[in-house]
Amino acid sequence: MKVAVVGATGMVGQVMLDVLSERNFKIDELILVASERSVGKQIKLQDKTHTIKSLAEAVEAKPDIALFSAGGNTSLEWAPKFAAVGTKVIDNSSAWRMHKDYKLIIPEINAGELTSKDFIIANPNCSTIQLLMVLKPLHDKFNIKRVVVSTYQSITGTGLKAVKQLEAEAKNQSVEMAYPYQIHKNALPHCDVFLENDYTKEEMKLTNETKKILGDQNVNLVATAVRIPVVGGHSESVNIEFEDAFDIATVKQILNQMPGVTLQDNPDVNTYPMPIYAEGKDDVFVGRIRRDFTLENGLNLWIVADNLRKGAATNAVQIAEYLIEHKLV
């Protein structure tokens, strides 16, 4: 398999390379692609040295699969060019997620929608992936009516510059600022840009991507996305109102049986999901499962996952694995 990683020097691109190696993904030729200023540079991976290629060179090489994590503009311009030469593009940007002609895939949930005709496949937003891994099995059983989510998102989601600012603040050093204010003792109710409806793009991604992945426009979701000085993963406080009655035991049984979800729910012994546990792992962790006594069919729960892994790189590699396993590439 000839595989290109577009955005190979970025945070998600680096994790994509880690995950490909960890999962022994069968690669005959690996093409690393980064911005023009990195072209020609060399990267050593395990026992091999790779020279960074340009996007044009990578298209010319006609890879079988291209994993993209290089921003929406690069995806908008270059994903079609790779697709035109027969490459299966799995794109981690938001460029194609809500486009009616392209699929938004979480393998455990809807990989079955994929066909040989799909050449650009969208990876959902990190906060969407971990949320839907829990919502989908519960929706199938109890019909979700409304969801209210508050996210507590890792600074790694902002990017390397923000991580460097957090590290510098911890050492009381000055550094090029990603934010015009301190991060290390703060909670920022501002993930991505604000829209005209007073929600941020991050919050509307949760609303819109949830509807698309569940295939149900009747599921109403509203979100508040908050950035916190944590590096291990995103956390989410989730309130769900179901159409149908439920019992907690069945909720836990359903989540226990969901591939890729791990129940961590024993507060008596301080067992609940936390980024320090989720970091570096591919599962989505759920706990604090309890009835919302203010609603007839209400449920509260807490979800944590490593946003760079299942929230981005691992989900993309799992899509690539599915394509190979089902002979769609």
User: Residue with the closest Cβ to ligand 2RA?
Assistant: 157
Gap between the Cα atoms of 23 and 52, Å rounded? 23
Taking residues 180 to 199 in sequence order and writing x for each that binds ligand 2RA by CB under 6 A, - otherwise, the string is -----------xx-------
Determine the size of the site formed for ligand 2RA (CB under 6 A).
Answer: 10
Q: In angstroms, what is the minimal distance from the CB of 228 to ligand 2RA?
A: 11
DSSP string, 230-283: --S-EEEEEEEEESS---HHHHHHHHHHSTTEEE--BGGGTBS--HHHHTT--S
Is 97 known to sit in a ligand binding site?
Answer: yes
If the CB atoms of residues 58 and 188 are measured against ligand 2RA, the closer one turns out to be 188
Footprint of ligand 2RA on 18-77 (CB under 6 A): none
From 52, 111, 126, 138, residue interacting with ligand 2RA (rule: CB under 6 A): 126
From 91, 118, 169, 202, residue interacting with ligand 2RA (rule: CB under 6 A): 202
User: Do residues 87 and 4 touch, judged by C-beta distance below 8 A?
Assistant: yes
Positive or negative torsion for Cα 9, 12, 18, 24: negative
User: Do residues 69 and 312 touch, judged by C-beta distance below 8 A?
Assistant: yes
Footprint of ligand 2RA on 144-163 (CB under 6 A): 153, 157-158
If the CB atoms of residues 143 and 186 are measured against ligand 2RA, the closer one turns out to be 186
Q: How far is CA 115 from CA 112, 141, 254, 322, 323, in A?
A: 8, 27, 28, 11, 9
Distance of alpha carbon 83 from its chain centroid, rounded? 22
Bridge partners, 45 (sequence order): 48
Is 227 known to sit in a ligand binding site?
Answer: yes
Smallest CA-to-CA distance from 134 within 327, 273, 26 is with: 273
Is 37 known to sit in a ligand binding site?
Answer: yes
If the CB atoms of residues 14 and 153 are measured against ligand 2RA, the closer one turns out to be 153
Residue 13 interacting with ligand 2RA (CB under 6 A): no
User: Do residues 1 and 27 touch, judged by C-beta distance below 8 A?
Assistant: yes
Active site residue 190: no
10 Å Cβ neighbour count for 285?
Answer: 27
Is 9 known to sit in a ligand binding site?
Answer: yes
Q: Which stretches within 67-192 are classed as H helix?
A: 72-84, 107-110, 126-142, 160-170
If the CB atoms of residues 63 and 157 are measured against ligand 2RA, the closer one turns out to be 157
Gap between the Cα atoms of 277 and 271, Å rounded? 10
Residue 31 host element (H or E): strand 29-33
Single out the catalytic residue among 50, 126, 191, 326. 126
Taking residues 281 to 310 in sequence order and writing x for each that binds ligand 2RA by CB under 6 A, - otherwise, the string is --------------------------x---
Is 153 known to sit in a ligand binding site?
Answer: yes
From 9, 87, 127, 210, residue interacting with ligand 2RA (rule: CB under 6 A): 127
Active site residue 139: no
Name the residues annotated as catalytic: 126, 234
Binding residue numbers for phosphate = 97
Report the interface residues with ligand 2RA, using CB under 6 A: 125-127, 153, 157-158, 191-192, 202, 307
Binding residue numbers = 9-12, 37-38, 97, 153, 227, 307
